[in-house]
Structure 1
Amino acid sequence: MVSVLAEEADIDVVGEAGDGEQAVRQAGDLLPDVVLMDVRMPRTSGIDACTGIKNAVPSAKIVMLTISDEEDDLFDALKAGATGYLLKTISVDELPDAVRAVSGGQSFINPSMATKLITEFTTLARQGGGRAEQAAAPRLTDREMEVLRLVARGLSNREIAKQLVISDNTVKNHVRNILEKLQLHSRMEAAIYAIRQNVIQME
């Protein structure tokens, strides 16, 4: 992974750590923009290290890169402040794009895990009071509604751009406008909003 990332002109690998405790210490010293970390690590778990890193470097974006497809690990990682959750089954060639996406403010979650996350939020929303009332989010344009639906389904900016036949930058601008209009802070919050407001229909 280090060699793959080091070959990218816009990515600098500033450090490596052998366990969670060392990761927290190095993050505090190196102030990285993005941290790639496993859920399961010696001495201090990846979840605890994630919390420690966010406390030490709040601006750091943390991506869990792991073999664990357990829902509890995903939820714990997000609660601890992780911005991304990737399974090690992804192609190494996809890693630089994931780092760039997270660095640019996107949440980046492996599609199969994103589906589990959305399903869980849908279940919680229904348990919390049944189906939400229909809300068409009138403050959003038709195009922004299209983008919101695709964001809620876990698509990346690139995938949304391809599906709507628009540029990546246009998608990025739409996402930013959606978050500002709805007073949300992340794509994940936008996905939850879309589910609760029946902007998308889940099986």
Structure 2
Amino acid sequence: MMGHMGQGPAGEQERDEPIRVVVVDDQELFRRGLTMLLGVEDGIEVVGEAGDGIAATDIVVSSAPDVVLLDVRMPKRSGLQACMKIKELVPTVKIIMLTVSDEEGDLYESVKNGASGYLLKDSSIDEVAQAVRVVAEGQSLISPSMAVKLIDEFKEMSRAERDQVPTPRLTDRELEVLRLVAQGLNNRDAARQLFISENTVKNHVRNILEKLQLHSRMEAVMYAVREKLLDIT
């Protein structure tokens, strides 16, 4: 699903503080298990857990975590509603949606509402820990197969908007960066492929988002697929 599985954080600035995580799932066994497993991961600290969307919002506001793992399907306030509410109250928090299936139509909504990505519930604990580290770094979790599913909805939604604005021109280098990002590479791996510095990649990504008036790497991926900049079959 993502590049660089299991490789250590060598070469990036070490965080002094652990990444603070809140786990939200209405299935107690799943939630407790995830909390325990993440608790022994290096550099990750679980600071709270909740079993529904309302409790989730309260705990995020009181504990101000870095990352929230949020179940899509929950009572009292769905994961989607919780995602919107949390982003509204604590905009800096990164949200990863937990889902049983990548067929969820809702996932598109969650991305639009500020989620940094999604994880399938049958992911390994290594993948979950890696995902937490990746979004804490400000990157998105993207699987191209999901991007393709998102596109159809995106096309419908954006056709009207797109008719009003001419597509801004990206430079060749920006297009290269966008392609790599859209394939799920993180900044470091994209930098390696293009033989440029990680910082330069970050600046390119920032410029791409500004030019295209997009809010996240995830939206940039959808844009890339929609504009046929990627060959994802």
The TM-score bracket by the shorter chain reads: 0.7 to 0.9
- Counterpart amino acid of 2:122? T
Pick one of 101, 117, 131 that aligns with 1:98: 131
In structure 2, the residue matched to 1:11 is 44
Task: Count the aligned residue pairs.
Answer: 199
Pairing 1:105-184 to 2, within 5 Å after superposition: 105-122=138-155, 137=169, 140=171, 142-157=172-187, 160-161=190-191, 163-164=193-194, 171-180=201-210, 182=212, 184=214
Residues 145-165 of structure 1, C-alpha deviation per residue, up to 9 Å, x if partnerless? 211122234444455356546
Q: Which residue of 2 aligns with 1:27?
A: 60
Matched letter for residue 98 of structure 1? A
Deviation at 1:23, TM superposition (A): 0.7
Deviates more, 1:105-114 or 1:50-59: 105-114
Partner of 2:83: 50
Q: Which runs of 5+ in 1 are unaligned?
A: none
Indicate how the Cα distance of structure 1 residues 137 and 83 shifts in structure 2: closer, same or farther if over 3 A, else same.
same
Question: Which of the numbers 105, 109, 120 marks the counterpart of 1:76?
Answer: 109
Q: Match of 1:30, as an amino acid?
A: S
Tell me the alpha carbon deviations over residues 31-55 of structure 1, each in whole angstroms, 9 at most, x when there is no partner: 1121101111132211121122122
Contact 1:84 1:108 in 2 (8 A): yes
Aligned counterparts of 1:157 and 1:73: Cα–Cα separation in 2: 27
Q: CA deviation at 1:16?
A: 0.8
Structure 1 residues 122, 160: closer, same or farther in 2, change over 3 A?
Answer: farther
Cα deviation, residue 186, structure 1: 1.9
Is 163-172 or 63-72 further displaced after alignment? 163-172
3-state SS of paired residue (2:173): helix
- Equivalent-residue separation in structure 1 for 2:159 and 2:68 (angstroms): 35
Q: Say if 1:186 and 1:19 are closer, same or farther in 2 by CA, change over 3 A.
A: same
* C-alpha separation in 2, matches of 1:129 and 1:181: 14
Contact 1:74/1:113 (CA < 8 Å) preserved in 2? Answer: no
Q: Secondary structure at the match of 2:49?
A: coil
Q: Would the alpha carbon gap of residues 113 and 11 (structure 1) be closer, same or farther in structure 2, given more than 3 Å must change?
A: same
**Which stretch of the first structure deviates more once superposed, 155-164 or 145-154?**
155-164
2:215 to 173, 185, 193: 185
Q: Normalized per residue, which structure has more strand?
A: 2
Whole-angstrom CA distance in 1 between matches of 2:135 and 2:204: 17
SS at match of 1:37: strand
Two-structure CA RMSD over aligned residues (Å): 3.3
Offset at residue 116 of structure 1 (A) = 1.1
Which shows bigger deviation, 121-130 or 151-160? 121-130
Does structure 1 residue 85 correspond to structure 2 residue 118?
A: yes
| Counterparts of 1:8 and 1:155, CA distance in 2 | 23
Could you tell me how far 1:14 is from its partner in structure 2? 0.8
Aligned residue for 2:98, secondary structure, equals strand
| Contact residue 71 and residue 113 of structure 1 kept, 8 A | no
Instruction: Give TM-score, length-normalised by structure 1.
Output: 0.76
